[in-house]
Amino acid sequence: MRKELLSLKKDISLISCKNNLVCVLIYGSILKDDYKADDLDVIIVVKKVDSTLNEIFKLFSNVFNKLDIHTYSQEEISQGLSFYSREFILEYLANEGMCIFGNNIFKNEFLNINAYQYKQSMLIRSIERIQMVRKKYFISSVGQDEKLKYLKKYFLRISKSILILENKENNDSLKNLTQEEVNQKLFTSGVLDFLIDSSHLNNLDDCFNLFDNISNVLTRCKKNIET
């Protein structure tokens, strides 16, 4: 664990609003890319969302400049009001998140979902990601290299989701696969009727154009889930 996270874990146990905290969960690139990540993804679950939480937000902002923090009440989590693509995210938080305060309540929440809920949420999240990619490509002010990096990241994530939605693979079998290996599976499983040329993923415009094929497959997935 990075020293910043160790320090946060200790400091959270000392703040005055700690009795309002249910759990604090770290996730994302900081857990995968230990020394390169400069941002922090956090989910805070509390008994009550109120102004006393300013203290923990200040604590995080003193350590990291780039923060993505989501705050939920325990009631919102237990009643399923916490996020739209809930079941898919639950799996990620249950299996990949690092709890630095309290217990990871998402583990039990994930056990209560069924296959339809899981696939529906994965489909919703994939559609959301398509929109994120389009916004980044058309209106973002970042440079081309940064755009391409973003598009490639989400092309891999959406491609893996499609293989799961089409009942070709599962999370465990896909976890460590490269984009080239995923491309091969998309073709050999019949999800796509052509093999993606990996060189196209290294050109911004070509990479973006491939998302149209992915979008068409998601439309098919939606029909299959609903029938």
Question: How far is it, in rounded angstroms, from Cα 203 to Cα 97?
Answer: 33
Residue 1 has pLDDT above 70, yes or no: no
Helix H or strand E segment including 147:
helix 144-165
Q: Are 140 and 172 in contact (CB under 8 A)?
A: no
pLDDT in tens, 175-202: 889 999 999 999 999 999 999 998 999 9
**Residue (of 24, 57, 56) closest to 42 by Cα position:** 24
Q: In the structure, what pLDDT confidence band is assigned to residue 39 with cuts at 50, 70 and 90?
A: confident
Provide the whole-model pTM. Answer: 0.78
Q: Sign (positive/negative) of CA torsion 52, 58, 104, 7?
A: negative
Question: How far is it, in rounded angstroms, from Cα 191 to Cα 168?
Answer: 9
Extents of the domains making up the chain: 3-111, 123-226
Per cent of the chain over pLDDT 70 is 93
**Into which CATH architecture does domain 3-111 fall?**
2-Layer Sandwich (3.30)
Question: How far is it, in rounded angstroms, from Cα 36 to Cα 84?
Answer: 30
The CB density around residue 144, as the number of other CB atoms within 10 Å, is 10
Pairing of strands 98-102, 66-73: unpaired
